[in-house]
Structure 1
Amino acid sequence: MRLFLFAVLFLCSCARAGCEPKIVNIGAVLSQKRYEQVFKDAVTQANQVYGRDKFKLTAISVTHKPNAIQMALSVCEDLISSQVYAILVSHPPQSNDHLTPTPVSYTAGFYRIPVVGLTTRMSIYSDKSIHLSFLRTVPPYSHQAHVWFDLMREFNWNHIILIVSDDHEGRAAQKRLETLLEERETKNKKRNYENLDQLSYDNKRGPKAEKVLQFSQETNLTALLLEAKELEARVIILSASEEDAAAVYKAARFLNMTGSGYVWLVGEREMSGKALSEAPDGLIGLQLINGKNESAHINDAVAVVAQSIQELFEKENITEPPRGCVGNTNIWKTGPLFKRVLMSSKYPEGLTGRVEFNDDGDRKYAHYSILNYQKSRLIQVGIYNGTQVVMNNQRKIIWPGGETEKPQGFQMSTRLKIVTIHQEPFVYVKPTMPDGTCKEEMTLNGVLIKKVICTGPNETIPGRPIVPQCCYGFCIDLLIKLAMTMNFTYEVHLVADGKFGTQERVNNSNKKEWNGMMGELLGGLADMIVAPLTINNERAQYIEFSKPFKYQGLTILVKKEIPRSTLDSFMQPFQSTLWLLVGLSVHVVAVMLYLLDRFSPFGRFKVNSEEEEEDALTLSSAMWFSWGVLLNSGIGEGAPRSFSARILGMVWAGFAMIIVASYTANLAAFLVLDRPEERITGINDPRLRNPSDKFIYATVKQSSVDIYFRRQVELSTMYRHMEKHNYESAAEAIQAVRDK
């Protein structure tokens, strides 16, 4: 009966209310009035697909206002006061203010109401610490780096110059491209590319930025591009605004950097408006497909919002959005959840293609047209389908200078920057003459020693200032011969940190960077290393070596034992202080014997007065007696006559016996044990494998030997022992062995 009454009451309430679905308001800030009808039609179409009887979407729209304050007030009064669940916002195509959607994002974001951007491309909106609830159906300009990266791989360009404006957009593009390059490099570290020529090795390793050049309004663009012109790379990627790009093109044309051999890769901003009027022929640019089709983006955004609201209604209890801004500081509790649902939504059948969002709320899998600027016209020569570049083989690209063949992307410089290291006898470093020249010297055979000027830190001056110095030696002779044979000029400098090159962790992170000569070569500070650099697996993965001019293995340097003289060996049983005390004791005892025998009154007492009185010891006789007792030579005459002197003589004889016995025993022990120390037999010598605390051995820090010991697991015990004793240079290590 109760169940029946409840059913009757429910039916009555439905009849009274009509069981109407919940009204869900969707707001929009559109660029023009004509798009308001497009928005309403999109909402009507979404109601036919989504919601069914649970909710009904209602469209509430306004157009952009002249300034930010009016726009924020309009959002509060016209949209938030109507309790909108989400706000769509476009970017006026003719507006020079790229931050037009900012008032909408700030105002709605304060209440955590999701904002869906339609045509906003600026990278600042990816920063979720500023734009809390913002997502968009277009990618930011910085995502064009993915297309640039794929184009570099498509055309096998491995050396690029990146020129970016010193603003948020330029830095975002730089960061995105550098991340892609680092990821590619990390993947290739595990691969073995030995026995490849340089071109094949570069193709396998992938592209890398030879130089990143930033510029601002105050930058001298001519000087900046001159710096780029001196580099080997001829592929230039530009990220800048229309006005800045136009200025760069003008400066590049003045420096003849838009002709044959050069490649210019740009984005959408750099080939539109003012920039396009100054763009050089052969330019390769990008254009987002449907990027400015506001109608298509409105339809896709409404569909994504409707789909997400349906998912939200099925799973969660939704609280009401805030009503108005005046006196209301409470955020919408369901807002963050709704934003997460929106960002995880997938709409594969959109008018602009598949609609998905990444963790920053930016559009994924965007499609681009790849355009070639030919005779003042933009010709599509390929597309980027969201994952890879697909070129149109039916349309040939016209490259800068009117070339039809793909440029190599680099040029070989005839003036090379050579880095070397002070390592005798391969490279000697001496100061220059007062006039800045090198002193001429001859070898013992009368051959002139060839010297070159090399800049580098002076080790003999505090602070190690960078000064010109004279370098010569085997490696310098080799460099001079190479330059004559290969027809190039050079400038030589010493490595700044004095190291050959090894990988070190950066700030205790997992990222590793090369230091020393390896770091300068890979960082573009040098074109070639001419030094006694050992070939190992780690280095061979990054650079190409010539045929080694010297083959050598591991050599162990020990101090040469100095042979001891035979006379010296007889003195070894006693220390020098003991020898001095024994010699002093002999003479002291002799003097005491003389005095006692001369002045003792008991020595003159005679039992029989008729006997002849013995003569007292003279000083020389006492000395003879003292030495005779010590050396056990026997005393025939000249013995002391007094009782006290004889007692002293007996004590001295006992002492002499102990001294002689100790000396004889120690001498025998020294002669038996005095064998030369066994030589180190090699790396497997027990003294190296199981070292004692007093047995010290070491090598040069961050050298090839240091890398070898660090890499070999079976030598880990040896490496731990030697690591704390390693030296900064070979000269220091050799001197330490000499001073041992």
Structure 2
Amino acid sequence: MVMMVMVVMVMKEVHSSSLPSRSFTIGGVLHDNTTQQHFTRALRMINFDGVSVADKTTLYEETTVLLGGPLTTALHVCNTIISKAVLAVVVASAPGGSGATAAVSYTCGFFHIPVICTHSRDSAFSNKNIHASLLRTVPPYSQQADVWVLLMRRLHYRQAILLHSATADGRALKDRFQALTRRHTDPEEAVKLAEVIEFREGQESFVEELTTIRHHLVKVILLSASESDAGRIFHDARYLNVTSEGYVWLVGEEALHADNAPLGTLALTLNHAHDYNAHITDSLRVVARALKLLHETQLYIPTPPVSCDDESDWDLTGQTLFR
């Protein structure tokens, strides 16, 4: 038994000593010069922290600032990031910049280059058929349903009315909420939706939807809406007296930012969601650890594609790195 253990240890040592010196390049697609500068500083720190980077390896960065729309972004990524043989990309787009994030994900995903995005919370990015090589540091808005269910149980609310936008995020939240409630059949814990009301994003009046709610016996209202839609909903709800005593408003994070949210509104917010520097640093550490493992387990690592017209044998390695 002792001999077997010793043999394994020697084999591992020989394997490690046979690994070549390597340099890895990580791409960064940032939304301004400040985040671009932080990316460079953070990677320099990670290179020398003594933990994140494997022996005989060095991490380099290749960064760019987001410019123009999705098509321009995709072309820019091809010409300035993929052309530098990056093994992974971190994208930190500005608030509301999901189009740019999607462009980076599509472009890099075609070549199985892993992407970590820091601030895109659209439910669409959870679709692995489209975004097969994408990770993110924040959850989608639809996962607020998990907390809503727990909070309703905690407060002993058994029924609620869901008012949500006819968007991918609104429908994903509805589906997730209903799936969660179906898991619990214990009548002491069960919660359910008494009614689901869907509205068109950007509509001018919500009197019709709120009148339906006013005539309902259930007074717990779940709201999934953008900040602008939520502002109009709260305005009309106050006009119809649907914010008076007896009503409970449990809203999503975006709706909470409306200036006229009713007093006593319940909501949840993600801590440090807007700390770009922290999210970028965490993303780089994740990539560094993955590259360390790749270096220590792969004698041969093919060169990533250096052109969006390139065909290489990188695909399997990219998938391994992503996992």
TM-score range, shorter chain: 0.7 to 0.9
Aligned to 2:8: none
Note if 1:294 corresponds to 2:276.
yes
SS of residue in 2 equivalent to 1:213 = strand
Q: Distance in 1 between matches of 2:240 and 2:222?
A: 17
Report the CA distance between 1:169 and its aligned residue: 0.7
Encode CA deviations 1:99-137: one digit per residue, 9 max, x unaligned: 231111111011110010111111110011111211101
Check conservation: 1:111, 1:331, Cα contact below 8 A: no
Structure 1 gaps of 5+ residues are: 1-18, 189-200, 341-740
1:111 aligns with 2:94: no
State the secondary structure of the residue aligned to 2:36. Answer: helix
Where does residue 322 of structure 1 map in the other structure? 305
Q: Which residue does 2:167 correspond to in 1?
A: 167
- AA aligned to 2:276 is E
* SS of corresponding position for 2:99: coil
Distance of 1:63 and 1:286 partners within structure 2: 31
Alignment of 1:546-695 (within 5 A): none
Structure 1 match to 2:314: 332
Indicate if the aligned counterparts of 2:221 and 2:248 stay in contact, CA closer than 8 A.
yes
* Contact 1:50 1:306 (C-alpha < 8 Å) held by counterparts: yes
- Counterpart selection for 2:58 from 56, 59, 70: 56
C-alpha contact (below 8 Å) 2:162/2:193 kept by paired residues: yes
Find 2:81's aligned residue among 62, 79, 82.
79
AA partner of residue 71 (structure 1): T
Q: How does 1:315-394 map to 2 (within 5 A)?
A: 315-316=297-298, 317-325=300-308, 327-330=309-312, 332-333=314-315, 334-340=317-323
Gap regions ≥5 residues in structure 2: 1-18
Structure-2 separation of matches of 1:221 and 1:69? 36
> Cα 1:153–1:205, aligned 2, differ >3 Å: closer, same or farther?
closer
**1:208 counterpart letter in structure 2:** K
Q: 2-side partners of 1:329 and 1:230: how far apart? A: 62
1:101 aligns to what SS in structure 2? helix
- Structure 1 distance, partners of 2:32, 2:134, is 21
Q: Does 1:33 align with 2:33?
A: yes
Q: 2:77 is aligned with what amino acid?
A: V
Distance 1:331 1:120, change over 3 A: farther
Supply the distance in 2 between the matched residues of 1:291 and 1:331 (Cα, whole angstroms).
37
Q: Indicate which of 274, 278, 292 corresponds to 2:260.
A: 278
Determine if contact 1:112/1:331 at 8 Å carries over to the other structure. Answer: no
CA distance in 1, matches of 2:54, 2:134: 28
Shift of 1:205: 3.6
Q: Number of aligned pairs?
A: 300
CA contact (8 A) 1:80 1:322 kept: yes
Quote the residue 2:229 is aligned against: 244
Matched to 2:285, the amino acid is: A
Pick the aligned partner of 1:209 from 174, 193, 196: 193
Q: Deviations over 1:565-607 (max 9, x none)?
A: xxxxxxxxxxxxxxxxxxxxxxxxxxxxxxxxxxxxxxxxxxx
Corresponding residue for residue 176 of structure 2: 176
For 1:60, the aligned partner's letter is E
Deviation by residue 1:263-300 (Cα, 9 ceiling, x = unmatched): 1111211122xxx2221111112211010101001111
1:110 touches 1:331 (CA, 8 Å); kept in 2?
no
SS at match of 1:288: coil
Q: CA offsets per residue over residues 714-735 of structure 1, 9 Å max, x none?
A: xxxxxxxxxxxxxxxxxxxxxx
Q: Is the 2:70–2:99 contact (alpha carbons within 8 Å) kept by the matching residues of 1?
A: no
Distance 1:331 1:230, change over 3 A: farther
Q: CA deviation at 1:330?
A: 4.7
The answer as to whether partners of 2:123 and 2:168 remain within 8 angstroms in 1 is: yes
The answer for the alignment partner of 1:140 in structure 2 is: 140
Which residue identity is paired with 2:274?
Answer: K
2:47 partner amino acid: N
Distance 2:175 2:204 in 1: 21
Amino acid at match of 1:279: A
- Runs of 4+ residues over 6 Å off in structure 1: none
Q: In structure 1, the residue corresponding to 2:135 is in which secondary structure?
A: strand
Summarize deviations over 1:401-458 as a string: whole Å, max 9, x none: xxxxxxxxxxxxxxxxxxxxxxxxxxxxxxxxxxxxxxxxxxxxxxxxxxxxxxxxxx
Q: Give the letter aligned to residue 227 of structure 2.
A: E
1:259 CA displacement:
0.9
TM value normalised by structure 1: 0.39
User: Could you tell me whether the CA contact under 8 Å between 1:245 and 1:270 is conserved in 2?
Assistant: yes
Tell me the CA shift for residue 220 of structure 1: 5.6
1:129-181 Cα shifts (integer Å, max 9, x gaps): 11121110111111111111111112111111111101101001101111111
1:374 aligns with none
Alignment correspondent of 1:67: 69
Instruction: Report how far residue 219 of structure 1 moved.
Output: 8.5
1:169 alignment partner, SS class: helix
If you compute each CA radius of gyration, which structure gives the higher value, 1 or 2? 1
Give % identity: 36
d(CA) in 2 for partners of 1:72, 1:63: 12
Q: Is the 8 A contact 2:204 2:232 kept in 1?
A: no
Structural mapping, 1:516-531, within 5 Å: none
CA contact (8 A) 2:205 2:236 kept: no
Any conservation in 1 of the 2:164–2:197 contact (CA below 8 Å)? yes
Q: Secondary structure at the match of 2:183?
A: helix
Closer, same or farther: CA 244–254 of 1 in aligned 2, 3 Å: same
TM (normalized to structure 2)? 0.88
Q: Is contact 2:54–2:296 with CA below 8 Å preserved after alignment?
A: no
Deviation for aligned residue 1:20? 7.8
2-structure distance, mates of 1:177, 1:99: 26
